[in-house]
Amino acid sequence: MSAEATTLPSHDSCVAVSRGPAVGLECRDIHKTFFARTAFAIQALSGVNLSVKPGDFISIIGSNGAGKSTLLNVIAGTFPVDRGTVLLGGEDITHVPEYRRARDIGRVFQDPRAGTAPSLTIEENLSMALRRGRRRGLSLGVNASRRQIIRAELCLVEMGLEDRAKTQVSKLSGGQRQALSLLMATITKPSLLLLDEHTAALDPKVAATIMGLTDMIVTERGLTTLMVTHNMELALQHGNRLIMMHAGRIILDVGPEEKHELTVPGLVQKFHEVAGKAFVTDRVLLAD
Protein backbone atom coordinates (compact mmCIF):
# COMPACT_ATOMS: atom_id res chain seq x y z
CA MET A 1 0.00 0.00 0.00
CA SER A 2 1.49 3.34 -0.98
CA ALA A 3 1.69 6.11 1.61
CA GLU A 4 -0.04 9.43 1.02
CA ALA A 5 2.40 12.34 1.11
CA THR A 6 1.64 14.91 3.77
CA THR A 7 3.55 18.17 4.11
CA LEU A 8 4.11 19.21 7.70
CA PRO A 9 4.48 22.86 8.80
CA SER A 10 7.26 24.54 6.84
CA HIS A 11 10.71 24.93 8.28
CA ASP A 12 14.03 25.64 6.63
CA SER A 13 15.62 22.42 5.38
CA CYS A 14 12.50 20.39 6.22
CA VAL A 15 11.05 18.00 3.64
CA ALA A 16 7.66 16.33 3.21
CA VAL A 17 6.98 13.20 5.20
CA SER A 18 4.34 10.57 4.49
CA ARG A 19 1.24 9.68 6.44
CA GLY A 20 0.72 6.03 7.31
CA PRO A 21 -2.69 4.37 7.28
CA ALA A 22 -4.64 4.94 10.50
CA VAL A 23 -5.69 1.67 12.12
CA GLY A 24 -8.23 1.08 14.89
CA LEU A 25 -7.91 -0.82 18.17
CA GLU A 26 -10.32 -3.06 20.03
CA CYS A 27 -10.04 -4.52 23.53
CA ARG A 28 -12.63 -7.15 24.42
CA ASP A 29 -13.34 -8.21 28.01
CA ILE A 30 -9.75 -7.70 29.19
CA HIS A 31 -8.88 -9.11 32.61
CA LYS A 32 -5.52 -8.86 34.37
CA THR A 33 -4.66 -9.87 37.93
CA PHE A 34 -1.22 -9.59 39.51
CA PHE A 35 -0.11 -12.14 42.13
CA ALA A 36 -3.14 -14.28 41.28
CA ARG A 37 -4.13 -17.03 43.71
CA THR A 38 -2.20 -15.40 46.54
CA ALA A 39 -3.19 -13.25 49.50
CA PHE A 40 -1.65 -10.29 47.65
CA ALA A 41 -3.76 -10.59 44.48
CA ILE A 42 -4.44 -7.27 42.72
CA GLN A 43 -7.16 -7.17 40.07
CA ALA A 44 -5.75 -4.47 37.80
CA LEU A 45 -8.22 -4.85 34.91
CA SER A 46 -11.71 -6.26 35.23
CA GLY A 47 -13.64 -6.76 32.00
CA VAL A 48 -12.32 -3.76 30.07
CA ASN A 49 -14.01 -3.18 26.71
CA LEU A 50 -12.69 -0.42 24.47
CA SER A 51 -13.24 0.33 20.78
CA VAL A 52 -10.97 2.94 19.23
CA LYS A 53 -11.75 4.31 15.79
CA PRO A 54 -8.91 4.98 13.34
CA GLY A 55 -7.49 8.43 14.06
CA ASP A 56 -9.01 8.74 17.54
CA PHE A 57 -6.93 10.59 20.14
CA ILE A 58 -8.19 9.37 23.51
CA SER A 59 -7.16 10.78 26.89
CA ILE A 60 -7.30 8.24 29.73
CA ILE A 61 -7.65 9.50 33.30
CA GLY A 62 -8.27 7.94 36.70
CA SER A 63 -6.88 7.72 40.21
CA ASN A 64 -3.74 5.82 41.16
CA GLY A 65 -4.29 2.10 40.69
CA ALA A 66 -7.23 2.59 38.33
CA GLY A 67 -5.59 0.41 35.66
CA LYS A 68 -4.54 3.09 33.16
CA SER A 69 -0.90 2.09 32.68
CA THR A 70 -1.76 -1.60 32.99
CA LEU A 71 -4.14 -1.21 30.06
CA LEU A 72 -1.37 0.34 27.95
CA ASN A 73 1.01 -2.44 28.99
CA VAL A 74 -1.52 -5.09 27.97
CA ILE A 75 -2.05 -3.42 24.59
CA ALA A 76 1.71 -3.16 24.04
CA GLY A 77 2.24 -6.79 25.03
CA THR A 78 4.35 -6.00 28.11
CA PHE A 79 1.83 -7.87 30.28
CA PRO A 80 -0.10 -10.92 29.02
CA VAL A 81 -3.85 -10.89 29.56
CA ASP A 82 -5.52 -13.43 31.84
CA ARG A 83 -8.62 -13.32 29.69
CA GLY A 84 -9.84 -11.28 26.76
CA THR A 85 -8.81 -10.25 23.26
CA VAL A 86 -6.78 -7.39 21.80
CA LEU A 87 -7.20 -6.55 18.11
CA LEU A 88 -5.22 -4.01 16.12
CA GLY A 89 -6.45 -3.19 12.64
CA GLY A 90 -8.75 -6.19 12.85
CA GLU A 91 -5.87 -8.59 13.60
CA ASP A 92 -5.84 -10.56 16.85
CA ILE A 93 -2.58 -9.64 18.59
CA THR A 94 -3.51 -11.02 22.03
CA HIS A 95 -0.68 -13.56 22.02
CA VAL A 96 1.74 -11.70 19.76
CA PRO A 97 4.97 -10.97 21.70
CA GLU A 98 5.85 -7.41 22.64
CA TYR A 99 8.82 -7.12 20.30
CA ARG A 100 6.63 -7.98 17.31
CA ARG A 101 3.89 -5.56 18.36
CA ALA A 102 6.55 -2.84 18.53
CA ARG A 103 6.59 -2.79 14.72
CA ASP A 104 3.11 -1.29 14.77
CA ILE A 105 2.93 0.38 18.19
CA GLY A 106 4.92 3.46 19.16
CA ARG A 107 5.27 4.30 22.85
CA VAL A 108 6.52 7.19 24.98
CA PHE A 109 7.02 6.79 28.72
CA GLN A 110 6.97 9.24 31.63
CA ASP A 111 10.73 9.04 32.14
CA PRO A 112 12.51 10.90 29.29
CA ARG A 113 15.41 8.45 29.65
CA ALA A 114 13.26 5.38 28.96
CA GLY A 115 12.86 5.72 25.20
CA THR A 116 16.39 6.60 24.10
CA ALA A 117 19.91 5.17 24.05
CA PRO A 118 21.96 7.78 25.96
CA SER A 119 25.39 6.69 24.70
CA LEU A 120 24.38 7.08 21.06
CA THR A 121 23.90 10.29 19.09
CA ILE A 122 20.56 11.84 18.18
CA GLU A 123 20.80 10.64 14.59
CA GLU A 124 21.83 7.14 15.65
CA ASN A 125 18.77 6.90 17.91
CA LEU A 126 16.47 8.04 15.12
CA SER A 127 18.16 5.69 12.65
CA MET A 128 17.41 2.77 14.98
CA ALA A 129 13.80 3.92 15.21
CA LEU A 130 13.55 4.08 11.41
CA ARG A 131 14.52 0.40 11.23
CA ARG A 132 12.01 -0.75 13.84
CA GLY A 133 10.80 -4.23 12.94
CA ARG A 134 13.52 -4.82 10.36
CA ARG A 135 16.50 -7.16 10.52
CA ARG A 136 19.32 -5.32 12.28
CA GLY A 137 22.94 -5.52 11.23
CA LEU A 138 26.00 -4.29 13.07
CA SER A 139 25.91 -0.86 11.43
CA LEU A 140 23.62 1.91 12.69
CA GLY A 141 23.09 2.79 9.03
CA VAL A 142 22.96 6.59 9.14
CA ASN A 143 23.23 7.05 5.38
CA ALA A 144 22.47 10.17 3.33
CA SER A 145 18.85 9.22 2.74
CA ARG A 146 18.15 8.54 6.40
CA ARG A 147 20.05 11.66 7.40
CA GLN A 148 17.65 13.76 5.31
CA ILE A 149 14.63 12.12 6.96
CA ILE A 150 16.20 12.59 10.39
CA ARG A 151 16.87 16.29 9.80
CA ALA A 152 13.26 16.79 8.69
CA GLU A 153 12.07 15.14 11.90
CA LEU A 154 14.34 17.28 14.06
CA CYS A 155 13.06 20.41 12.34
CA LEU A 156 9.62 19.67 13.76
CA VAL A 157 10.81 20.00 17.35
CA GLU A 158 12.02 23.60 17.02
CA MET A 159 14.46 23.11 19.90
CA GLY A 160 17.57 23.58 17.79
CA LEU A 161 18.17 19.84 17.50
CA GLU A 162 18.36 19.89 13.68
CA ASP A 163 21.92 21.22 13.99
CA ARG A 164 22.87 18.81 16.79
CA ALA A 165 22.24 15.46 15.11
CA LYS A 166 25.67 14.18 16.11
CA THR A 167 25.24 15.19 19.76
CA GLN A 168 25.19 12.37 22.30
CA VAL A 169 21.69 11.96 23.75
CA SER A 170 23.01 11.97 27.32
CA LYS A 171 23.86 15.66 26.84
CA LEU A 172 20.25 16.67 26.10
CA SER A 173 17.82 18.22 28.56
CA GLY A 174 14.81 16.23 29.76
CA GLY A 175 12.50 18.10 27.41
CA GLN A 176 14.78 17.61 24.42
CA ARG A 177 15.12 13.92 25.19
CA GLN A 178 11.35 13.52 25.52
CA ALA A 179 10.88 15.30 22.19
CA LEU A 180 13.37 12.83 20.69
CA SER A 181 11.46 9.93 22.28
CA LEU A 182 8.27 11.20 20.66
CA LEU A 183 9.97 11.44 17.26
CA MET A 184 11.39 7.94 17.64
CA ALA A 185 7.97 6.55 18.53
CA THR A 186 6.26 8.13 15.52
CA ILE A 187 8.90 8.31 12.77
CA THR A 188 7.64 5.09 11.12
CA LYS A 189 3.98 6.22 11.30
CA PRO A 190 2.85 3.43 13.68
CA SER A 191 -0.66 2.02 13.65
CA LEU A 192 -1.03 3.01 17.31
CA LEU A 193 0.71 5.51 19.60
CA LEU A 194 0.72 4.98 23.38
CA LEU A 195 1.62 7.93 25.61
CA ASP A 196 2.06 7.03 29.28
CA GLU A 197 2.15 10.33 31.24
CA HIS A 198 4.78 11.55 28.79
CA THR A 199 4.78 15.15 30.10
CA ALA A 200 4.43 14.44 33.84
CA ALA A 201 8.17 14.64 34.58
CA LEU A 202 8.63 17.98 32.76
CA ASP A 203 8.21 21.54 33.99
CA PRO A 204 4.96 23.21 32.81
CA LYS A 205 6.54 25.27 30.02
CA VAL A 206 8.42 22.33 28.52
CA ALA A 207 5.39 20.07 29.00
CA ALA A 208 3.29 22.52 26.97
CA THR A 209 5.89 22.44 24.19
CA ILE A 210 5.87 18.63 24.13
CA MET A 211 2.06 18.57 24.06
CA GLY A 212 2.08 21.02 21.14
CA LEU A 213 4.49 18.74 19.28
CA THR A 214 2.32 15.75 20.18
CA ASP A 215 -0.82 17.39 18.81
CA MET A 216 0.93 18.35 15.58
CA ILE A 217 2.39 14.90 14.93
CA VAL A 218 -0.80 13.04 15.84
CA THR A 219 -2.92 15.30 13.63
CA GLU A 220 -0.62 15.48 10.62
CA ARG A 221 0.09 11.75 10.58
CA GLY A 222 -3.43 10.66 11.46
CA LEU A 223 -2.17 8.53 14.35
CA THR A 224 -4.55 6.53 16.52
CA THR A 225 -3.47 7.57 20.02
CA LEU A 226 -4.08 6.68 23.67
CA MET A 227 -2.70 9.15 26.23
CA VAL A 228 -2.67 8.36 29.95
CA THR A 229 -2.56 11.42 32.20
CA HIS A 230 -3.35 12.41 35.80
CA ASN A 231 -3.95 15.99 34.72
CA MET A 232 -7.67 16.48 34.10
CA GLU A 233 -7.23 19.85 32.41
CA LEU A 234 -4.69 18.34 30.02
CA ALA A 235 -7.10 15.49 29.31
CA LEU A 236 -9.87 17.95 28.47
CA GLN A 237 -7.68 20.14 26.27
CA HIS A 238 -6.23 17.40 24.07
CA GLY A 239 -7.77 14.67 21.97
CA ASN A 240 -11.27 14.07 20.67
CA ARG A 241 -12.42 11.62 23.33
CA LEU A 242 -11.90 10.98 27.05
CA ILE A 243 -12.31 7.85 29.12
CA MET A 244 -12.14 7.56 32.90
CA MET A 245 -11.03 4.39 34.68
CA HIS A 246 -11.68 3.27 38.24
CA ALA A 247 -10.88 -0.04 39.95
CA GLY A 248 -9.83 -1.68 36.70
CA ARG A 249 -12.89 -0.66 34.71
CA ILE A 250 -13.85 2.06 32.26
CA ILE A 251 -16.60 3.97 34.08
CA LEU A 252 -16.98 6.97 31.78
CA ASP A 253 -16.57 7.49 28.03
CA VAL A 254 -16.95 11.08 26.82
CA GLY A 255 -17.29 11.90 23.12
CA PRO A 256 -16.13 15.05 21.29
CA GLU A 257 -19.17 17.29 21.79
CA GLU A 258 -19.61 16.58 25.50
CA LYS A 259 -15.86 16.74 26.08
CA HIS A 260 -15.70 20.20 24.54
CA GLU A 261 -18.25 21.48 27.06
CA LEU A 262 -16.77 19.80 30.15
CA THR A 263 -14.80 21.56 32.88
CA VAL A 264 -12.57 20.02 35.54
CA PRO A 265 -15.25 20.46 38.27
CA GLY A 266 -17.82 18.96 35.91
CA LEU A 267 -15.59 15.96 35.26
CA VAL A 268 -15.00 15.45 38.99
CA GLN A 269 -18.77 15.55 39.54
CA LYS A 270 -19.29 12.95 36.81
CA PHE A 271 -16.81 10.66 38.53
CA HIS A 272 -18.65 11.12 41.82
CA GLU A 273 -21.96 10.25 40.15
CA VAL A 274 -20.66 7.15 38.38
CA ALA A 275 -18.25 5.75 40.99
CA GLY A 276 -20.14 6.86 44.09
CA LYS A 277 -17.06 8.52 45.58
CA ALA A 278 -15.10 11.71 45.10
CA PHE A 279 -11.52 12.48 44.11
CA VAL A 280 -10.15 14.33 47.11
CA THR A 281 -6.52 13.42 47.65
CA ASP A 282 -5.25 12.24 44.29
CA ARG A 283 -2.97 13.87 41.73
CA VAL A 284 -5.80 13.52 39.23
CA LEU A 285 -7.12 16.86 40.50
CA LEU A 286 -4.05 18.76 39.37
CA ALA A 287 -4.87 21.16 36.59
CA ASP A 288 -1.73 23.22 36.19
pLDDT, tens only, 100-139: 999 999 999 999 999 899 999 999 999 999 887 665 554 5
What pLDDT, on a 0 to 100 scale, did the predictor assign at position 56? 97
pLDDT at 225 over 70: yes
What pLDDT, on a 0 to 100 scale, did the predictor assign at position 138? 44
pLDDT at 14 over 60: no
Distance, CA of 262 to CA of 239 (rounded, Å): 13
Distance, CA of 197 to CA of 139 (rounded, Å): 33
Distance, CA of 74 to CA of 80 (rounded, Å): 6
Distance, CA of 161 to CA of 156 (rounded, Å): 9
Q: Enumerate domains of the chain plus CATH numbers.
A: 19-277 (3.40.50.300)
Distance, CA of 60 to CA of 232 (rounded, Å): 9
Distance, CA of 287 to CA of 133 (rounded, Å): 38
Average pLDDT over residues 243-252: 96
What does DSSP say about strands 57-62 and 224-228: parallel, antiparallel, or unpaired? parallel
